[in-house]
Structure 1
Amino acid sequence: MPRPLRDVPATTVVIPRDEIQRSPTLTQDALVRTLPSAATFRRTPSLVADPTAQGLNLRGLAPSGVARGLVLLDGLPVNDPYGGWVFWRALPRLGLDRIEVVPTGGSALYGSAALGGVVQLISQPIQGAIDADVSVGNQGTGFFGARIADRWKRVGISLEAEGLTSDGYHIVPEGQRGAIDGDTPSNHLTGQARVEVRATDDLFLSARAGLFRESQNGGTRYTVARVDLAWFTGNARLRTEDTGTFELGLYGRTQDFAQDRARVSADRSTESLSAHQDVPANDQGGSLVWTGPELTLGGTHVLAAGVDARRAAGTAEEQLFPATSTPTALLARTTRGTQLSGGLFVQDLYTVSPALEFAGTLRWDLWRNQDGARQERRADGNTSATDFAPRTASQLSPRLAARLRPLDWLTLRASVYRAFRAPTLNELYRPFQVGTVLTAANPDLGAERLWGTEAGVEAVGPGGITGRITGFWNVLDAPVTNVTLATPLPDGTTRERQNLGQARVRGVELGTDWRPARQWTLLAAYTFVDPVVTEAPGQPELVGRQLPQDPRHRGSLSVTFDEPSLLTATAQLRVVGPQYEDDLNTRGMGGAAIVDLFVSRHLFWKVAAFAAVENLFDRSYLAGRAGVDTLAPPFQARVGLRLRDGVNARFSEAERGVPVH
C-alpha cells in the first residue's frame, strides 16, 4: 500500500529517480549493489557474468547463483522461472521512478523467493516525455537508450529501447592467463511497450510486453552464454466506495538460455568444448489482492488479503563431449520438470494512534514438483531414463511488525518473521560448471526455512540529518548450498547441491542522509554481517566456517553537488571486505575500496553532457576463485549525451522516493 516512507514498519531503503540518474553505474545490478545491504552472488557485474552467477542476496543471507531475494517490476516477479536468478540487463532504467529495497524476510506477503527480502522497481507514471541516453567508453563500450511516452486523455503509452555492447576485459589475472584467455565481450538489446488506460474514475488497466536478447563470452572460445526472453504482464485495479480496492495481476514469460562449457588444460594453453546446454523454460502466473476500507475498532484497521498462483516448467538439454572416448562415456543428458505453486495471505495494518502501529501478516503456501525426469545416452548407444517421484510441500509464514514514534523526530521499528524458499527446477535437475568446478543437481532437495528478527531506530537531527541503525538476526535452516564432496563423482563432479544443516546470519546496518545545503547531499551506509555455519550433519568440518561469497563488511559513501546552472557531480566510495569462494574457507579473496565518479553539465535546451567513471583508481581485486582466479572490473569510463524532456523530468522533491509500496 502506498504510504510515507517514515511510516512503514519494516526497514525500507529507496533509491529515488534523481539518484538513479546521477549514479556512475552502467547496469542495474551494479546500481542495486551500491546499497551495502544488497549484493549479487559474485563481485563481477552482469556486464561480464551470465545470469547464473547473478543471484540477489540481501544482508548476506547465504549468497548463491539463485536469488534469495525477490525482484519485482511494478508488483510482478521477474526472477527467472527455471533458475531463480535475475536477468538484470533486461530491466528498464530510463522509465524508472525509484527502486525500493526491503532487506528482511518477505515470505509472509510474497511467498517463496522473498526469503531474504524484496527489491521492487517502480515505473514512472506515463506522462508526455522524451528521454534518451547515448554514451561511449573504454573497453569498446557503447550504450544507447531511448524512451518516449505520451497521454491522450485516459490513455497513456510508453515505448522504451536499450542496447549495450562491450569488449569486456581480461578476466583472468596475468599470472594465470594462458593462450586461450581473452576479453569478455557482451551485448544486449531490449525493448518494451507499456499501456495505461483509466477506463473509468474507479477502474485502471495496464499492460506491458517486452523482448530481450543477450550474449556473453566468459573470456575463452568455449565459455559462451546466450539468452532470449519474451514476457507480458497485465494489471487491473478497481476501487469501490464500500468494499475497498481489488487488484488483478497476470504475467507470462518464455525464454531460452544456452551455455557452452570448456575443458581447459592446466597451463590454459588449449581448450576444447566439454558441454553445451540449452535450457528452454516458461512460466505463467497471476494474483488477486483485496485491500479493504478503513475500519475503526480500538484504533483503525486496514485489512488486506490475496491469492496467487504460478506454473514454471523447463528442460535442460545437454550435449557432452568427453575428453576420453569410452563405450560408457556420457554423450547426452536431458532433464526436465514442472513446479506448481500458490499461496494466500491476510494482513492487518492496525494503527493504534499516530505514534503506534502494528502490521500482522500470515501466509500459507503450497508447491508441487512434478514431471521430473532424466534421460542419459552413452557412447555405446545405451540409454537410461529416470523418473523422479512428484513431491508436494507446504509452508506457513507469519510476520509481526511494529512502528513506534514517541517523538516526532524519533522512530522505532521491530519485527519477527518466518520465511522460506522452495528449490528451483535448476537446483533440482540441472548440473552446472564454473571455471573447472562441476556441481551436480539434487532432485531430493527440500525448502530452505528462515526464522528472523530485526529492530532499529531512526532519528532526524538538526540541519536535516537523518540517522538509522538496525540490528538483525536470522537463522537459516537447511540452506541449499554447493557442498564440496569428499570423493568426486565418476564424471569428475566435485560439488553437489545439498540442504546444509543450519546457518546463522546476524549483523547491523548503519545509515545516514544529510543535506547541509540545497546543493549538497551526503549519503553513508555500512553493513556488518556475521554469516556462520552452525550445523552441518555429515560434514563437521564446515561448522564455524563463514558462508562463501559473503563478506562481513560492506560500506558506501557518496557526496553529490547539484547546481543545475553549473554542474551536477557525484563521488562515490564503495568498500567490500574479504570473503571466501568456497564452503571450506580455503580460497580467500581480499577486500577492496573502489571510487566512482559522475559529472554532468547542461548544454542547451534539455540536453546535458555527462561523464562516468567506475573504479577510478583501477583497483585490482578478485571476483572469484572457481578453479581459476577471476578479476572484478578494472577502470571503466564513458562519456555521453543525455536528453530529458517532459513532465517526468520535473518531479518535486516530495514526489521522489517518498511513497513506498
Structure 2
Amino acid sequence: MTPLCLVLLWMGSTDAPPPKPPPEAPPEPPAAQGTVVTATRLPRPLRDVPATVIVLPRAEIDRSPTLTQDGLLRTVPSVATFRRTSSLVSDPTAQGLNLRGLAPSGVSRSLVLVDGVPANDPFGGWVYWRALPRLGLDRVEIVPSGGSALYGSAALGGVVQLFSRPLTGPLLEGDVAYGMLNTGQLSARGAHRWGRVGAAVETELLTTGGHPVVAASQRGAIDQDTPGNHVTLNGRVEAEVSPALRLDARLSLFRENQNGGTTYTTARAESGLASAGAQLTTPTAGQFALQLFGRVQHFEQRRARVAADRSSETLSAIQDVPANEQGASLTWTGPAWTLGGTHVLTAGADVRRVEGTSDEQLFVPSPSPTPPALRSAGGEQRFAGLFLQELYTVTPALEFTAALRWDTWRNVNGERRAEQVGGGVETEAFADRGEHQLSPRLGARLRPFEGLTLRASGYRSFRAPTLNELYRPFQVGTVLTAANARLGAERLTGGEAGAEVQGPRGLTARLTGFWNELEDPIINATLATPLPDGTSRQRQNLGRARVRGLEAGLDWRVARAWTVLLAYTLVDSEVRDAPGNTELVGKQLAQDPQHRGTALVTFDAPALFTATVQLRVTGPQYEDDLNTRRMGGYAGVDASVGRRLVGGLEVFAAAENLFDREYLVGRAGVDTIGQPLLVRLGLRLRERP
C-alpha cells in the first residue's frame, strides 16, 4: 500500500517523526487510530464501528510504491479490479471494482465516493482510477460489505470512499518523477486559508510509453507498446459562513488517452464534475447536510478486426458514448437522546438521473446491403431513495445499528437504432421499466473487555443494471459481448462476523468471516450458438452464486521505526443456480481468485530514510464463466525508499514488480500479460509539520 521515470514532486509535507511516546505506551498501529465516516455516515472512532472498515491513512498512501490509485487499493487483499492489469495500460471499461471477490466484472459492484460524491462512471459503473490523484488525499476508507441500506444502488458489495485533506495553508506540495517505460509524472497541490475561507488547487499529469500486453508467444506484427497519458485539474473551496453554517464547492476536470497495443485499439475519456454542499448545525434540531452534483463526460473507443496470426488489422468500429448525470441528497442527523442508553438517528433522501447513448460506426469487412453501418442505443435512468438509521449505544461496551432504505428506479426512453449499409433502418423502442427495493442492515459491536472487539452484521443490498449493460455491446481481444436491454437488478443477502484483538506493543490482529448469496448476478455468459455478427457472449442475469470466505490481518509496530502489516483474504465462489446455463453450476466465478495476500514492512526514520517493501500474492483464476481458460497465480514485490534532503524536499525511488515477474491478466481470445518492472526516480516536496 505504498509507492522509473524521474520524479519531482511538489506536494506538501514529508511527515516528521511523531513525538516519542513513553516506553510503556508505544504508538498504536495505523489501523487502530482515527475517526471513520463511511460505515455509518457518522464520524465514529474506528475501533467502535460495528462493521469491518479498512483505512489507508495519508502516511501509508505517501509511502506506497504503487503509481496509480487502483494499484494502491489492490494492496488490500479484499480489494480487486476486474482483470489483474493496471489502469496505466488498461481500458477503463475493464477496471470495475469488486470487494471480497463479489462476482468481478468490468462494471463495479461497489460504490466509490470522493467526499460523498459518486466517482463511478454514470453510464458504465466502472471507475476512472487515473482521475483520482493522491496528492490531495487524507485517507481512504474501505467498507467491504453490503452498503445499499445507506447508499442505494452501486453499493451492492460495499463502499470505498476517498477523503480530501483539510484546507490549510499557505501550502505548496508536489511530486515529479520519471522512469522505465518512458513513464513520467508531475503532481502539484497548492492550498491556502484566509480566516473562514479555504481553497486548494491540484493537478496531475502522467504519460507512459506502456509495454507490450500480448504474450510473446502470440505476438504478431501489429502488436506494439501501450502508450497513454492523462491530466487532471481539481479545485475546491469551503467557507465557514458562521459557526453553524459551512459551504463547499468543487470542480474536477479529467482527460485520458490510451492505446491498447495496436493502431486501431484506442480509448479516450473526458469528464467534468461540479458539486456543491452545505452543512447546517443547530443546537436543538441536529445537523443538516445538502449535496448537489452534476457530471458530463464522453468516452470513445476504437476496435480492430485482427487477423488470426496477428499480422494485420483493420478498423472494425468506432464507438462514442456521451453521458451526463445529476444528483442531490439531503441528510439529517439528530441530536443524541437517551432511553436505556444513547440513541442517534440519521435520515436522508437522494435523487439521481443518468442519461447516455452508445453510438457506433461499424466497418463491415465485405460490403453488402444488410449489415449495420451505424448503430445507436441508449436511454435514461432515474433513481430515488429514502433511508433511516439508528445508532444505539447501550453502554460503551455494547452498540447496535439498524438501517433501512427504500429505493425506486426506472429505465425510460430506451431505444436501439440500426442503419444498414444499404440504407435500411431498424428501430426498436424498449418499454419503460421500473423496480423497487428494500435494503435493511443490522449490526452489533461488543467489547467484553479492553483489547477485544467483536463485530457482526447482516444486510440485504442491490445493484440496478447500468445503461452500459443494457445497451452497449463491447469487444475484448477477439471476443464480442452483446448488451441486454431486459436485464434486472442484482440482489445480495449476506453477513459478516469477526473479532479484533489489540495486544502489547501496538499489535492488532483481525479475523472476519463473511457469507454472501448473490441473486441474478449480471455476467458475460457464453452463448451456445454465436449471433450472426460473431458475438459469442451476452450479458445475462445468471441465477444465483454463493461467495464466502475469510479475512485475516495483522498490524504490528515492532519498534518505533518498524511496522509490519500482514493481510490475507480467502474467497470461495460458486455458481449455485443458472437457469438456461446449467453447465455453469458448480463453477467458480470468472476473474475471482480464491487466495490473495499482502505482506508489508515499513521502516520510517525521517532523520535517516523511509523505506517500504511489500509482497503481493494472488492465486489462480479463470478468464471465463465456463472455467476453461485458467490463469495461474503470481507473486509480485514492490519497494520504495525516500531520503529527506532539506526542509520538506525528499528524493525517492519506487519499483513495482521488482523481480520482473511475467503473469497473465487476460485470455479473451489472446493472452495478455501484466505490467513488467517499473522503476521511478523522483523528488517529493511535502509540508513540514
Residue 352 (str. 1) matches residue 416 (str. 2):
no
Q: Tell me the residue number matched to 1:119.
A: 160
Q: Tell me the residue number matched to 1:216.
A: 258
2:191 to 145, 149, 156: 149
User: Which whole-Å deviations, capped at 9, do the CAs of 1:528-586 have from their partners, x for residues lacking one?
Assistant: 00011000011111000000000000000000000011000000000000000000000
* Equivalence map 1:252-263=2 (5 Å): 252-263=294-305
* Equivalence map 1:315-330=2 (5 Å): 315-330=357-372
User: Which whole-Å deviations, capped at 9, do the CAs of 1:98-137 have from their partners, x for residues lacking one?
Assistant: 0000000000000000000000000111001211000001
Residue 49 (str. 1) matches residue 90 (str. 2):
yes
1:462 to 493, 504, 528: 504
Residue 310 (str. 1) matches residue 352 (str. 2):
yes
Instruction: Tell me, in whole angstroms, the C-alpha distance in 1 between the residues paired with 2:648 and 2:503.
Output: 36
Alpha-carbon offset, residue 192 of structure 1 = 0.8
1:485 to 527, 530, 535: 527
Q: Tell me the residue number matched to 2:217.
A: 175
1:67 to 83, 93, 108: 108
Residue 84 (str. 1) matches residue 125 (str. 2):
yes
1:556 to 594, 598, 603: 598
SS of aligned partner of 2:70? helix
SS of aligned partner of 1:80? coil
Q: Tell me the residue number matched to 2:310.
A: 268
2:320 to 272, 275, 278: 278
Question: Amino acid of the residue matched to residue 32 of structure 1?
Answer: L
Residue 427 (str. 1) matches residue 497 (str. 2):
no
2:513 to 471, 481, 484: 471
Alpha-carbon offset, residue 195 of structure 1 = 0.2
Question: Amino acid of the residue matched to residue 311 of structure 1?
Answer: R
SS of aligned partner of 2:216? coil
Please list every run of at least 4 consecutive aligned residues from structure 1 whose deviation after the TM superposition is greater than 2 angstroms. Answer: none
Instruction: Tell me, in whole angstroms, the C-alpha distance in 2 between the residues paired with 1:43 and 1:242.
Output: 51
Alpha-carbon offset, residue 48 of structure 1 = 0.4
Residue 508 (str. 1) matches residue 550 (str. 2):
yes
Instruction: Tell me, in whole angstroms, the C-alpha distance in 2 between the residues paired with 1:610 and 1:371.
Output: 53
Question: Amino acid of the residue matched to residue 98 of structure 2?
Answer: N
Instruction: Tell me, in whole angstroms, the C-alpha distance in 1 between the residues paired with 2:324 and 2:275.
Output: 14
Question: Amino acid of the residue matched to residue 509 of structure 2?
Answer: G
Question: Amino acid of the residue matched to residue 390 of structure 1?
Answer: D
Unaligned runs of 5+ in 2: 1-41
Q: Tell me the residue number matched to 1:657.
A: none
Q: Tell me the residue number matched to 1:138.
A: 180
User: Which whole-Å deviations, capped at 9, do the CAs of 1:228-250 have from their partners, x for residues lacking one?
Assistant: 11111111000000010000011
User: Which whole-Å deviations, capped at 9, do the CAs of 1:431-474 have from their partners, x for residues lacking one?
Assistant: 00000000000000000000001000000112211000000000
Instruction: Tell me, in whole angstroms, the C-alpha distance in 1 between the residues paired with 2:254 and 2:504.
Output: 48
Instruction: Tell me, in whole angstroms, the C-alpha distance in 2 between the residues paired with 1:299 and 1:14.
Output: 29
* Equivalence map 1:152-301=2 (5 Å): 152-301=194-343
TM-score by length of 1: 0.98
Instruction: Tell me, in whole angstroms, the C-alpha distance in 2 between the residues paired with 1:466 and 1:606.
Output: 31
Residue 623 (str. 1) matches residue 676 (str. 2):
no
Q: Tell me the residue number matched to 2:6.
A: none
1:595 to 610, 633, 637: 637
Instruction: Tell me, in whole angstroms, the C-alpha distance in 1 between the residues paired with 2:362 and 2:415.
Output: 18
Aligned length: 647
Instruction: Tell me, in whole angstroms, the C-alpha distance in 1 between the residues paired with 2:211 and 2:305.
Output: 21
SS of aligned partner of 1:517? coil
SS of aligned partner of 1:29? helix
User: Which whole-Å deviations, capped at 9, do the CAs of 1:503-532 have from their partners, x for residues lacking one?
Assistant: 000000000100011101110100000011
Residue 28 (str. 1) matches residue 69 (str. 2):
yes
Q: Percent identity?
A: 64
User: Which whole-Å deviations, capped at 9, do the CAs of 1:409-452 have from their partners, x for residues lacking one?
Assistant: 00000000000000000000000000000000000000000000
Instruction: Tell me, in whole angstroms, the C-alpha distance in 1 between the residues paired with 2:455 and 2:322.
Output: 44
* Equivalence map 1:635-646=2 (5 Å): 635-645=677-687
SS of aligned partner of 1:559? strand
Q: Tell me the residue number matched to 1:659.
A: none
SS of aligned partner of 2:457? strand
Alpha-carbon offset, residue 288 of structure 1 = 0.2
User: Which whole-Å deviations, capped at 9, do the CAs of 1:16-41 have from their partners, x for residues lacking one?
Assistant: 00000000000001101110000000
Instruction: Tell me, in whole angstroms, the C-alpha distance in 1 between the residues paired with 2:591 and 2:558.
Output: 37
SS of aligned partner of 2:468? helix
Q: Tell me the residue number matched to 1:658.
A: none
SS of aligned partner of 1:151? strand
Question: Amino acid of the residue matched to residue 14 of structure 1?
Answer: V
SS of aligned partner of 2:366? coil
Instruction: Tell me, in whole angstroms, the C-alpha distance in 2 between the residues paired with 1:49 and 1:276.
Output: 18
Instruction: Tell me, in whole angstroms, the C-alpha distance in 2 between the residues paired with 1:539 and 1:278.
Output: 32
User: Which whole-Å deviations, capped at 9, do the CAs of 1:188-213 have from their partners, x for residues lacking one?
Assistant: 00101000100000101110001100
SS of aligned partner of 2:47? helix
Question: Amino acid of the residue matched to residue 504 of structure 2?
Answer: P
SS of aligned partner of 1:541? helix
More displaced 10-residue stretch of structure 1: 316-325 or 391-400: 316-325
Question: Amino acid of the residue matched to residue 218 of structure 2?
Answer: Q
TM-score by length of 2: 0.94
SS of aligned partner of 1:327? coil
Residue 441 (str. 1) matches residue 483 (str. 2):
yes
Question: Amino acid of the residue matched to residue 41 of structure 1?
Answer: F
Q: Tell me the residue number matched to 2:653.
A: 611
Instruction: Tell me, in whole angstroms, the C-alpha distance in 1 between the residues paired with 2:503 and 2:444.
Output: 22
Instruction: Tell me, in whole angstroms, the C-alpha distance in 2 between the residues paired with 1:189 and 1:202.
Output: 37
Question: Amino acid of the residue matched to residue 637 of structure 1?
Answer: V
SS of aligned partner of 1:139? helix
Instruction: Tell me, in whole angstroms, the C-alpha distance in 1 between the residues paired with 2:222 and 2:472.
Output: 27
Q: Tell me the residue number matched to 1:37.
A: 78
Alpha-carbon offset, residue 322 of structure 1 = 1.2
User: Which whole-Å deviations, capped at 9, do the CAs of 1:346-365 have from their partners, x for residues lacking one?
Assistant: 00000000000000000000
Alpha-carbon offset, residue 92 of structure 1 = 2.7
Question: Amino acid of the residue matched to residue 214 of structure 1?
Answer: E
User: Which whole-Å deviations, capped at 9, do the CAs of 1:35-85 have from their partners, x for residues lacking one?
Assistant: 000000010111001110000000000000000000000011111110001
Question: Amino acid of the residue matched to residue 65 of structure 2?
Answer: P
Q: Tell me the residue number matched to 1:109.
A: 150
1:388 to 405, 421, 430: 430
Question: Amino acid of the residue matched to residue 97 of structure 1?
Answer: D
Instruction: Tell me, in whole angstroms, the C-alpha distance in 1 between the residues paired with 2:297 and 2:190.
Output: 26
Q: Tell me the residue number matched to 2:23.
A: none
Question: Amino acid of the residue matched to residue 160 of structure 1?
Answer: E
Q: Which has the higher contact order (CA 8 A, sep 6+)?
A: 2
Unaligned runs of 5+ in 1: 651-661
Alpha-carbon offset, residue 327 of structure 1 = 1.4
Question: Amino acid of the residue matched to residue 576 of structure 1?
Answer: T
1:408 to 447, 450, 462: 450
Q: CA RMSD in A?
A: 0.6
Q: Tell me the residue number matched to 2:31.
A: none
SS of aligned partner of 1:463? coil
Instruction: Tell me, in whole angstroms, the C-alpha distance in 2 between the residues paired with 1:108 and 1:193.
Output: 31
Instruction: Tell me, in whole angstroms, the C-alpha distance in 2 between the residues paired with 1:175 and 1:211.
Output: 40
Instruction: Tell me, in whole angstroms, the C-alpha distance in 2 between the residues paired with 1:175 and 1:409.
Output: 54
Instruction: Tell me, in whole angstroms, the C-alpha distance in 2 between the residues paired with 1:327 and 1:124.
Output: 59
Instruction: Tell me, in whole angstroms, the C-alpha distance in 2 between the residues paired with 1:133 and 1:120.
Output: 23
